[in-house]
Amino acid sequence: MVPVIGSGRLVSLPVVAQNGQPIEDSSEENQGWLVKTAISDQRILQWMLSLHQIGLDVVRTDRYLCFYESDSNQARLWDVLAIYTWLNPDIGYVQGMNDICSPMIILLENEADAFWCFERAMRRLRENFRATTTSMGVQTQLGVLSQIVSTVNPRLHQHLEDLDGGEYLFAIRMLMVLFRREFSFMDALYLWEMMWAMEYNPFMFASYEEPENSHAPELNPKLLKQCGKFERKSVKSGGQTEQHKTLAVFVVASVLETKNKRLLNEAKGLDDVVQILGDIAGNLDAKKACREALRIHEKFLRKVKKQ
């Protein structure tokens, strides 16, 4: 359908109109594969409508890295995102997926390997990108974050509530793209590997692939041992096995904790909260954030158990 995929080039201009009619384009970028006739198949149409948005995001991805000075490397990222979008029409393409995919493209030279690595990562993260007119994919995680902060730091939570920030919407980006914007490239990778190793839960993947055959970890001690340290502690202290209750939420809580004094003393409105948190971009230390997140996790579990 789109011969440009795999050619070392990408598309960042619309190729088809909303009504399925071809868009005439004389630019060199689209030469050789322009849509010739109207598209009536809605799945193909929706996919082709997303291709140029993927292209626009690709050229903005990790621009500070010399890796993406190469057009062919940008094209590899575009290829993977375009194919993933075609294979997952229920969720399609959402801005931020490019941030998740980029490390796979950089680390894995083989495009197919990069695709399957991204596909597997998205099994964990895809719900972050699912949204409706009434809810966002990270809504549940934000609710858990609210519960955590209100438990371990009630004063900060009350202050945010007073600023109409009790829903923690300012933390959406951190959770959606898993701190790619808050940490340096290498620190973000460290954080991912640390979190996923500590969380590893075979039941999570079993429930994704075979929802009708999912089992509770407490019913199978042998498989429970395969869970990471963080996951085992969560299960043993109350069955906290849902996919959204991840270490990532506690990392957000740790970020808020590091800015606790500034938030309490300087934040007079939500704009101030956003600005204070915006100042941390690229300046956080992943190891410190992980240590603080685990400390908060321990404190949270102790308090919940007492309650």
Confidence (pLDDT) at 242: 47
Q: Which residues of the chain have pLDDT under 70?
A: 25-34, 133-135, 201-223, 234-245
Identify the residue whose tokens are 């190469």: 70
pLDDT value of residue 17: 87
Distances (CA, A) of 3 to 6, 9, 75, 235: 8, 10, 13, 48
Return the pLDDT at 36. Answer: 73
Whole-number pLDDT of residue 285: 87
- Residue-level pLDDT at 212: 46
Identity (one letter) of the amino acid at 47?
W
Please tell me the CATH code under which domain 28-124 is placed.
1.10.8.270
Q: For the domain bounded by 139-306, which CATH number is listed?
A: 1.10.472
Write down the domain spans for the chain. Answer: 28-124, 139-306
Q: What are φ and ψ of residue 201, in 5° steps?
A: -135, 105
The C-alpha atoms of residue 195 and residue 152 are separated, in whole angstroms, by 21
| pLDDT at 189 (0 to 100) | 93
